[in-house]
Amino acid sequence: MPIMKGDDILLHYDMMLENGKVIETTRRGDPFCLHVGSNVMPEGFEKSIVGMKKGDKKKFRLPPGKLFGEKKENLTAELPKSSFMDDHELSKGKVVEVFGKAGEVYLASILEVKEDTVLVDTNHPLAGISLLFDVEIIDVFPVGKKTQSKKKTKILKKARVRRNKKAS
């Protein structure tokens, strides 16, 4: 059956820069579990796999607008060093977590470390970059299907635990 929104799927993927450098892969471990439509992966990724079937392989390129957006010049901030837990490990290019006014967490890249402050860029580290994907669909568990086997439950539970560890 073709993948559709609401399905649980197991897949392997490589995420690469346009020069072919792999920046993320699932192929060295268990397949990645994705509930299609959950927004765990960028929308452009999910739209690209809808319609694929178990065993299908696909390579595709997604531009910044379908991933993490274009890089915005106004997303820099100068923060006091004291706002970082490990201020002795701050260095240009390092990706750190920063907190917004409402407590939300953002990834930020350090642009410059000054005596008492740190200049950060709060664009997503992959903003403005097109990425290549190489995807293989391992299994599809259609939405609404009542055949909840022990094997499916075990596979999905293991994959979700792995995904949740990755997200934290």
Domain CATH for 157: 3.10.50.40
Residue 138: name the closest of 42, 29, 17, 5 by CA: 29
Q: Which domain holds residue 20?
A: 8-67+128-167
Same domain, 18 and 92: no
Cα 119 to Cα 163: distance, rounded to the nearest angstrom? 31
Distance CA 83, CA 120 (A): 12
Claim to verify: residue 117 and residue 139 sit in the same structural domain: no
Residue 99: predicted pLDDT:
81
As a whole number, the mean pLDDT across the chain is 86
Range with lowest mean pLDDT among 55-59, 74-78, 154-158: 154-158
**What is the signed CA dihedral for 56, 62, 66, 72, rounded to 10 degrees?**
160
Looking at the structure, tell me whether residues 112 and 142 fall in a common domain.
Answer: no
Residue 53 has pLDDT above 90, yes or no: yes
Q: How confident is the model at residue 88 (pLDDT cuts 50, 70, 90)?
A: low
Is 3 within the bounds of a domain?
no
Same domain? For 133 and 63 the reply is yes
92 shares a domain with 16: no
Q: What is the DSSP letter of 31?
A: P
- Do residues 82 and 158 both lie within one domain? no
Decide if pLDDT at 87 tops 80.
Answer: no
User: Number of folded domains in the chain?
Assistant: 2
Please check the confidence at residue 120 and state whether its pLDDT lies above 70. yes
Q: What would the two tokens of residue 141 be?
A: 């568990």
| Beta pairing partners, 13 | 135
Give the tens place of pLDDT for each residue, 14-52.
999 999 999 999 999 999 999 999 888 888 999 999 999
